[in-house]
Structure 1
Amino acid sequence: MADEAETALLRGNSLLYVDINPSNFVVGESRSWVVDWAWPTRGAGFIDPALLVVQLVAARHEPAEAEGWAEKCDAWTSADRDAVDAFAAATVRMYREHAKRFPDQQWRKAMVVAAESWATHRGLSPVPDMAESEGS
C-alpha cells in the first residue's frame, strides 16, 4: 500500500480515464475514440500517459521507446520524476496483487512483467511486494 507521501505525489486536478487497455480504443482512418468511461477520476495528469506506457511495454515495446511516446504529452514532460517513479512502483504492486488473486488470467501475469520491466528501466528494481511495503 502506498504511504501518504507517495499518495500525495499522485494527486492532481486532471480528468483521468485510467482504464487504458486495447479493448477501450477504437481507431478509425481519421479519428480515434476512447470508449467505456467507467472509471473517470481526478489525479496527476501524467497518470494516463504512464498507463499507456505500461500497455505499450506489454505490447512488446521497449520501456525507453514507450516513454518516448509519452514525452509528446505535456503532462508527462512536466511531471515530477519522483511522482512517476512512485506511480511505476505502485503499478507493479497492483498488478502483482491482481495476478495473485486471479492466477488463471494470463494477461495479468503479462502486465506484471510489463510493469516490472518499466520499473526496472526507471531504476526501481526490485520493487517490494505490498506486504513488504506495509511492514516498513
Structure 2
Amino acid sequence: MNDRLDWEHLPQSVRDVIEDKTGTVIKAETVIGRRPGLAAHLYAAQDDVFIKAIPADSPAAEPYRREQWAGWHLPVEAPAPRSLWSLEIDGWLVLASELVNDHARHVDLRHDSEDLSLVLDAVGWLAAQHCAIPGPSAVEHFSSLYAKGRLMLDQPHVRNPYLPALEGFNIDRLGGSTLIHGDLGPRTLLTKDTVIYAIDWSTASLGAWWIDLALLAPQLIAEGHSPQQVDELLSAAAPAWANAPARDVIGLTAICGSHHLYQAEHGPDNRRDDALRLAHACPAWLTHRLARL
C-alpha cells in the first residue's frame, strides 16, 4: 500500500461503525500525506472529525499505533488536537481526533513571524511534561533511524561533521519519561486563532525531555535563523535548555541529520525535498555545537 486511501475505500462495515459515532458522513476530504492509509476530514451530521485508518495487520500500522498511544496519554491542555476515540473493526485500525484543520494553517518559523513565540511556548510546555505510563521507547525509535543514517557515513563527503559529532555518544541516554513528538516543524505544526496544534504523532515515544527542542533546531536554521539565534530561542522556550547534555544533543542531531541524508537520497519521492532541506541545516547546527564543547 503506497498511496493514500479515500473514504470509499473503507469496507462498508467499517464506515457504518464510524457513522454510528459521527452521524451520516456528508462529505469526506482526503488529506494528502506521506504515509499509506486513510487520512480524511469527515463532515458529518453530528460530529466533524479527522479520521485516520489502516489495515491493522499492515507493516505500516506501527506509526498509527504510536499516534493512538500518544492520543491516550497527552494531557487535555496539550497543544494538540484532542483524541476522540479509536477502534479496531473488521481488520481495520481507526483513529478519530478533533478536526482543527479548517481555517488552520501551517506555522511560519521565520524571524518576523508572529507564530514563532507561540511555537516556542508550545514546545517548551511539552518538554516540561512527564508521562508515568509505559510506551514506545525513544531509544528504539532513534536507533532505527541511525541504522539507516549510518549507511551514509561511509561516504567521504558526509563524514564531517557527523563522525566527530558521534564520538562519545551513547544512544541509551536518549531514554526518559517525557512524551516526545519526534518530528516538530512547519509540516506538523498548525496554528488557528493564535493556538498551536502539533499534529501527526506517528513518531511519538518516551524519551529525554530535551529531544523535541533539539530536533526543532535544524527546522529553525532551515527557516533562516543562525545557530546562535537558535540557541537563544530554545533557551527562551525552556530555561533548562542551557543544561541539556551537549554531547547527547550533538549525537542526536548527527543521527537525524544522517537519516535526512538517507531519506533525501533513498526515501520516497514525497519526503525527499523536506529531508534535503533539513540535511542542509544539520551541519551548521553541529558545527556550532561542536565548537562549544
- How far 1:30 sits from its partner (Å)? 3.4
**CA 1:103–1:28 in structure 2 vs 1: closer, same or farther (change >3 Å)?**
closer
In structure 1, runs of 5+ residues without a counterpart are 125-136
Q: Does the aligned pair in 2 maintain the 1:95–1:115 contact within 8 Å?
A: no
Give the one of 50, 53, 56 matched to 2:220: 56
Change (3 A) 1:75 1:93: farther
What is the letter of the counterpart of residue 89 of structure 1?
A
Rounded Cα–Cα distance in structure 2 between residues aligned with 1:54 and 1:90: 12
User: SS of the counterpart of 2:241?
Assistant: helix
What is the alpha-carbon distance in structure 2 between the residues aligned to residue 50 and residue 116 of structure 1?
Answer: 14
- Looking at structure 1, the residues matched to 241 and 226 of structure 2 have their Cα atoms a distance apart, in angstroms, of 18
> 1:111 matched to which residue of 2?
278
Pick from 183, 187, 190 the counterpart of residue 19 of structure 1: 183
Q: What runs of 5+ residues in structure 2 fail to find an aligned partner?
A: 1-145, 148-165
C-alpha separation in 2, matches of 1:114 and 1:103: 20
TM-aligned CA deviation for residue 44 of structure 1: 0.9
Higher mean C-alpha displacement, 81-90 vs 53-62: 81-90
Figure out how many residues of one structure are paired with residues of the other and give that number.
Answer: 124
Distance in 2 between the 1:5 and 1:114 partners? Answer: 21
Q: Which has the higher contact order (CA 8 A, sep 6+)?
A: 1
How big is each residue's C-alpha offset from its partner over 1:16-57, in whole Å with a ceiling of 9 and x where there is no partner? 011212122122343211122222101111110111111001
Is 1:9–1:86's contact at 8 Å kept on the other side of the alignment? no
- Spell out, residue by residue over 1:84-112, the C-alpha distance to the aligned partner (whole angstroms, 9 max, x if none): 12112212221122122138623322211
Q: TM-score, normalised by structure 2?
A: 0.39
Q: Match for residue 102 of structure 2? A: none
Cα deviations across residues 45-88 of structure 1 (Å, max 9, x unaligned)?
A: 11101111110011111111112111121452331111112112
Aligned alpha-carbon RMSD (Å): 2.4
Larger strand fraction of residues: 2
Is residue 99 of structure 1 aligned with residue 254 of structure 2? no
Matched, 1:77 2:77: no
For 1:71 and 1:50, locate their aligned partners in 2 and report how far apart those are by CA, in whole Å: 11
Counterpart secondary structure, 2:197: strand
| Secondary structure in structure 2 of the residue aligned to 1:69 | helix
The normalised TM-score by structure 1 is 0.78
Q: Secondary structure at the match of 2:182?
A: coil
Matched with 1:133 is none
Residue of structure 1 in register with 2:192 after alignment: 28
> Greater CA radius of gyration, 1 or 2?
2
Contact 2:169–2:251 (8 Å) recurs in 1: no
- Output the CA distance in 2 between the equivalents of 1:81 and 1:53: 13
Secondary structure at the aligned position of 2:290 is classed as: coil
More helix by percentage? 1
